[in-house]
Chains A and B, each alone.
Chain A
Amino acid sequence: MREGEKKAGIKFDPELLNILTNFEEIELEDVEIEFGDLELWFQPGSVAAAPRVLAPLKVKPTTILEAPFIPPIDTYPGQIAEVKLGATKGEGGTRGKSIIIGGEKSPAFYTFENPTSHPPVISFDVFDSKVPLAKAVKMHVKDVLEDPVAWAKLSVDKFGADMITLHLVSIDPLNPTPSTPKEAAKTVENVLQAVDVPLIIGGCGDPHKDLEVFEKVTEVAEGERLLISTVTLDMDIERTAKIIKEHGHVALAFTPMDLNQARQLNRRLFEFLPKEQIVMDTTTAALGYGLDYAFSIMERARLAGLMGDPELQQPMSSGTTNAWAAREAWQKMDPKWGPRELRGPIWETVTALTLLLAGVDVFMMMHPAAVKTLKDVIKELTGKRGRGEAGKIATWIATKI
């Protein structure tokens, strides 16, 4: 360069020179050169091009140009409420430990922004009477199908359940002989004695019967901080909320995929209950059967809560078991789609993981393999395991499988 400089009789700025040495070739673009500026020597026989507008200064880099990535951090005016499920002896109940959910300050697992306040938890489904179950699920619980106490114990001891959801389906007025609130409360007491994890108590979906049963259950389980599932807009909300408050439990506010109804129900509940005693469920639809709705409603609810909407700042629950309503999960299909023993649990897993990324805090689930996968993923996402070391995947292309 220096040589060229002398020959040309032009002085280059030393900084420009430095930059130029980084590049191999230089094309000049958008530089207009007037005729008079140049002396041209024509070689005999060669054809000279007329001077013209040249291409822009296009320089090909020879080394990697530094461009640091700045993590795109946001702050949010809102925070999700913390809700405690289950109560220990010291807290007025009899559970071995209680579990806190919620408290998020960022969208789900944006751990580059904020650590996850409390990892999501999974509750195993237990039914108080025989229900039709998919084959892939049934094979794991076939011996306990008619014994909710044994079923609960199996879920905790064998499958490591953090929580148990006891579905009191036997109370349904549609049954030939529906069980009474007293009978249902007795089952709850038995399960409380058999396992020491926090419980979710599910009704049958009939707004009147559920309330009657919840009245009895909340009373016999005084102070246990049960999650009462569910409170809906067509129930006597005042009465339901009051018994939940009086006996020290938590309400699960259920609405059918509609954010305005979710707000409305929370608003009603706020009249009687503090934020620390409300969890919300905006409905879970299975993969392939409306999961897109469920996902977007939950993602919207969570973002709105973080952006300061006070009516959507409750932790979220998902009845992920609904994944089994999908035919692909339970039906026999052409062999090319694989055995339903695999199709079913992966269906539940994918449904759960999708909603995990939307912000769900409590999952009600069924299949042990799906639950185990979810627990593993939650550990990875909350940074409880190792980091991504480049060397581990740097040569993936050449791996022999």
Chain B
Amino acid sequence: MTEREVKKIGVRELSPIDVYMLLPKTNCKECGEENCMAFATKVVNREVVVMQCPPLLKKEYEKNYKQLSEMLKPAIREVTIGTGDGAVAIGGKLVMYRHEFTYFNPTAIAIAVTDEMLDEELLGRVKKTQEFTYEYIGTVLKLNMMAIRSTSNDPEKFRSAVKKVAENTSLPLILCSFNPIVVERGLMAIPKRRPLIYAATKDNWKEMAELALMYDCPLAVFAPNDLTLLRSLVKTLTEYGVEDLVLDPGTFPSEGLGDTINNFTMIRRAGCNKGDELVGYPLIATPIVAWTEPTDAPEVNAWKEAYVASMLINRYADILIMHSTDGWVLLPTTVLRQNIYTDPRKPVAVEPGIRIFGKPDENSPVMFTTNFALTYYTVASDIESAGIDSYLLVVDSEGIAVDSAVAGRKLTAETVAEAIKESKVEEKVKHRRLIIPGKAARLSGEIEELSGWEVLVGPGDSSGIPKFLQEKWGPQKS
């Protein structure tokens, strides 16, 4: 059996024809596509949704529309928390493994506050959460939610804390208490914000269900390390009329971590691959639990929280509740999430060719890098921020970073020599001196031979370019 057949286990094998047959087939172009078949292909690739076909929404196609919606329904229900522009969608997963298709709706990261924090700390954490940004390959990484925990179990204190948070951020909220009276008071403070209620348990499910229905909110279900209880609660709550559920099988950061990983994995497999609709809901994990363990230093808790979070991003968590606001904890977490939720169907590469920075002249330096997007953006931003007038050749390495491309012979003296020729950079500069990445040093001799250019081995990391140029590329030499 080959890998191709492995795919069939998980992926929903839907062909554009299946979709096309149910479309109006009028090729009206109202959706913006050339014809219905093109639209069907995009629907199957999840690039558009069927609602974008205006005729399909007419009464006469009602049946087809319903059928298509059912056919395209994700294995894992999509649940929306919050309202309007600030809303966050979670779940909506089609497959268990990202290589089978792609993961939609990146794991939402919530930072927790409590109803006993003093204003300064509470608002400080809200501000930090809102202002967290990190630029990464042309996108900005962000945090997504605030979770308010009732540590006081006092309805009035909770109401006040929820109100304060809501007034200071438009991020969606999670209201955390097992006491329905406390939760209700919180909901009354923000009746229109559609927060996630955390959580229904075996003891309070009925009251929580009533609140979820009354305030039209999604509801989390908490059954630590007891999947039969979890599934039973889901059945009960759905029968009760609550549709938007989020499941928490418990996060055990130390003893029981194995159970945690198993539970998340089993739930997702049952939901995606075994058609078990009772567990086909988004999952919520609580790495914050790492802070309940006594340790010698807060860094120890933060360290554990960081790595448990990363494991659960890999193993299917759709929401994470975290305590730490430390950059060194949240940076790897948000970068990993970005990586795992990248569309594996699209290579992360930029167009090969020549790029011009500033106003280079015939004496300006010529450098090269690969077309792996991350490498390119890193090098480009270093050149830009240093304000260096120069030419940068982007060599096609099939979207692989310099060191791996050299090791894998995707980047060779031949490809570099070819890139020099193609770019016509020889018409732009008088000199014939090429600065190559330090990690491609191995190729220097061959590049000189094949291109006839003199090679200068540049720094191992592009942050060293300004210093390198200062030392090795004086105007007297060029």
Residues of A within 8 A of B (CB): 58-72, 74, 77-78, 109-112, 132, 174, 205-206, 232, 234, 254-259, 283, 285, 287-292, 295-296, 299-300, 303-304, 307-309, 312, 322, 325, 327-328, 331, 333-334, 336-339, 342-343, 346-347, 349-350, 353-354, 357, 369, 373, 377, 380-383, 385-390, 392-401
Contact = CB atoms under 8 A, between A and B. Distances in A.
Contacts of B289: 393, 396
A386 B336 contact: no
Contacts of B252: 388, 392-393
Nearest to B444: A174
A183 B309 CA distance: 46
A205 B408 CA distance: 10
A80 B356 CA distance: 50
B328 A112 contact: no
Contacts of A285: 401, 404
6 contacts: A110-B265, A256-B404, A381-B258, A388-B250, A388-B255, A399-B291
A111 B262 contact: yes
A109 B258 contact: yes
Nearest to A206: B442
Contacts of B254: 380, 385
Nearest to A391: B224
B311 A386 contact: no
Q: Sorted from nearest, which 3 A-B pairs have the closest CB atoms?
A: A256-B408, A388-B256, A338-B328
A164 B419 CA distance: 41
A383 B252 CA distance: 13
Interface string B323-343: 100111101110110111010
Contact of B239 (A61, A205, A303, A385): A61
B233 A132 contact: no
Contact of A396 (B231, B286, B311): B286
A71 B231 CA distance: 12
A23 to B, nearest CB: 9
B259 interface: yes
A346 B241 contact: no
Contacts of B265: 109-110, 112
Interface of B: 1-3, 5-6, 9, 97-99, 114, 116, 136, 149-151, 153, 176-178, 198, 202, 205-206, 224-236, 239-241, 250-252, 254-262, 265-266, 269-270, 273-274, 276, 278-279, 286, 288-289, 291-292, 299, 303, 306-307, 310-311, 314-315, 323, 326-329, 331-333, 335-336, 338-340, 342, 344, 348, 372, 374, 378, 400-401, 403-405, 407-410, 441-442, 460-461, 463
A337 B325 CA distance: 10
Nearest to B199: A397
A333 B378 CA distance: 15
Given A61-B240, A380-B255, A388-B224, A287 B1 contact: no
A72 B273 contact: yes
Contact of B442 (A205, A291, A387): A205
B225 A387 contact: yes
A333 B149 CA distance: 32
Given A65-B235, A67-B278, A71-B266, A307 B328 contact: no
Contacts of B327: 333-334, 336-338, 343
B225 A390 contact: yes
Given A354-B314, A385-B257, A401-B292, 17 more contacts: A61-B240, A71-B227, A71-B266, A111-B262, A174-B442, A256-B407, A257-B408, A295-B314, A304-B6, A349-B307, A350-B332, A350-B333, A373-B307, A380-B254, A387-B225, A393-B252, A396-B289
B262 A65 contact: no
A59 B206 CA distance: 13
Contacts of A205: 407, 442
Contacts of B404: 256-257, 283, 285, 290
Contacts of A287: 332, 335-336, 339
Contacts of B278: 67
B463 A72 contact: no
A390 B222 CA distance: 10
Nearest to A389: B256
A325 B372 CA distance: 15
Contact of A307 (B1, B206, B307, B332): B1
A397 B202 contact: no
B377 to A, nearest CB: 11
A397 B176 contact: yes
Main secondary structure of the interface of A (DSSP, over half): loop
Contacts of B311: 353, 357, 377
A387 B259 contact: yes
Contacts of A400: 114, 116, 151
Nearest to B309: A350
A246 B44 CA distance: 53
A60 B250 contact: no
A388 B264 CA distance: 13
Nearest to A286: B401
Contacts of B232: 64-68
A111 B315 CA distance: 14
A392 B8 CA distance: 39
A304 to B, nearest CB: 4
B266 A291 contact: no
Contacts of A62: 206
A308 B3 CA distance: 9
Contacts of B378: 327
Contact of A309 (B1, B328, B442): B1
A292 B342 contact: yes
Contacts of A349: 306-307, 310
Nearest to A205: B407
Contact of B344 (A70, A296, A337): A296
B161 to A, nearest CB: 13
Given A69-B227, A353-B311, A390-B225, A343 B331 contact: yes
Contacts of B233: 64
Given A61-B236, A110-B265, A357-B315, A296 B99 contact: yes
A259 B3 contact: yes
Given A64-B232, A72-B274, A357-B311, A398 B250 contact: no
Nearest to B97: A299
Nearest to A335: B327
A337 B331 contact: yes
A70 B136 CA distance: 41
Contact of A109 (B178, B250, B261, B286): B261
A289 B401 contact: yes
B107 to A, nearest CB: 14
Contacts of B202: 64
B150 A399 contact: no
A327 B228 contact: no
Contacts of A303: 3, 6, 97
Contacts of A258: 408
Contacts of B230: 69
B326 A338 contact: yes
Contacts of B266: 69, 71-72, 112
A377 B372 CA distance: 32
A307 B114 CA distance: 48
A117 B91 CA distance: 33
A354 B326 CA distance: 21
Contact of A383 (B1, B258, B307, B372): B258
A339 B327 CA distance: 9
A292 B441 CA distance: 26
Given A65-B235, A338-B327, A387-B255, A397 B292 contact: no
A394 to B, nearest CB: 6
Contact of A110 (B114, B262, B310, B328): B262
